[in-house]
Amino acid sequence: MIDRYINNGALKTNYNGPQWQLYLDSIIKICPNIAIAYQLKAIPFIKFGDYATAMPLEDKAVELDPQNWTAYRGFLKCIFTKDYKGSIIDFQNAQLLTPNGGEMDHTYLFFEGLCNLELGNYNKAVENFRQDIFIQTKGDSAKESDIHYNTSFYFGILYYEMNDNKKAKEFLLKCLRKYKQHPEANFYLAMVYKREKNFDLMHKYLKIAKESLSKNYSLNEDNTIYVNYPHQISLNIIIEEEMK
């Protein structure tokens, strides 16, 4: 049935079209205990912001197959619905099911750190990002090149929020060494220099941020086309800062 209705059915169509839902409704009616059918059925609702319809479907997928879908639901809560407390619970449960696993190119601890950052739980976020880095590098400090640039970016944002300019610069520059056109890292580095009243460097990095966005550089996360990630910026934000 999975081959017929999903692999050779829904997945051969566009999720925006009516056939997508028809195939998935058919398999759910025949066999209502196939978790991936609910997860796939939720996709178009997630993409277009109908979370009230999508999340009960994601809940059903987790109920039927927590091993495969708990972390994914945690990702949706973190990035799409901004349910940071719920996301932390999901990622902690996912950690128990699949220790040191990952979702959407990041460790579970990365997303837990991002949630704690947004909740203002800064000390917890510091520990989360440290553990995220430890997992990525396997505890080898010589493997700094293995660290995802957005781990460094959000660690920098965390220290920026904590008013630790030195640490904020350290991590934002680490991000830029891997991805020099990162618009947000350039922008927030400019804001650190603004705090320090180093206006030459402030304008330097604002200019890079503006040019990068104008050339369609971004956070480079898959779902930014559908939803804004925490601390994602726009050209208007940069222009407003330039005019101050």
How far does Cα 201 stand from its chain's mean position?
A: 29
Give me the CATH code for the 1-64 domain, please.
Answer: 1.25.40
Per-residue confidence (pLDDT) for residue 3, from 0 to 100: 86
Per-residue confidence (pLDDT) for residue 73, from 0 to 100: 98
**Residue 147: what are its φ and ψ, rounded to 5°?**
-75, 130
Separation in Å, CA 207 to CA 13, 166, 189: 43, 22, 12
Per-residue confidence (pLDDT) for residue 65, from 0 to 100: 98
Per-residue confidence (pLDDT) for residue 30, from 0 to 100: 94
Per-residue confidence (pLDDT) for residue 7, from 0 to 100: 84
Segment 161-178, tens digit of pLDDT: 999 999 999 999 999 999
Q: What residues does each domain of the chain span?
A: 1-64
Segment 70-95, tens digit of pLDDT: 999 999 999 999 999 999 999 999 99
**Residue 124: what are its φ and ψ, rounded to 5°?**
-65, -40
Per-residue confidence (pLDDT) for residue 1, from 0 to 100: 81
Question: Residues of the chain with pLDDT > 70: what percent?
Answer: 100
CB atoms within 10 A of CB 31: 12
Q: Which amino acid is at 223?
A: N
Average pLDDT by stretches of 10, the chain with 244 residues: 85 90 94 96 95 98 98 98 98 96 96 98 98 92 87 98 98 97 98 97 97 96 94 94 86
**C-alpha span between 172 and 149 (Å, rounded):** 9
